[in-house]
Structure 1
């Protein structure tokens, strides 16, 4: 996932009426690790997930 913004993603639980903010929370719940890499055109969030045997 990537976007043109240079702001750091914040892990938070979105309220039922929130229109956004669920992405980083869902990524953290479904992966083993995740992080952010910044570049000249914004940021990219990388995630790692183990493959089943």
Structure 2
């Protein structure tokens, strides 16, 4: 098993969050993408989204 350096781990995290380069998705798509990774934001989305 390979161990990542701190820099590699940081870059992998930024890539997963799509923060390393411009993503082709729109703002709402990116919020959906990130909210899926954070349960607290999913609850916020449910309160803000129109019924």
TM-score after normalising by structure 2:
0.27
> Would you tell me which structure has more helix in proportion to its own residues?
2
Bigger relative contact order (CA 8 A; separation at least 6):
1
TM-score after normalising by structure 1:
0.26
> Would you tell me which structure has more strand in proportion to its own residues?
1
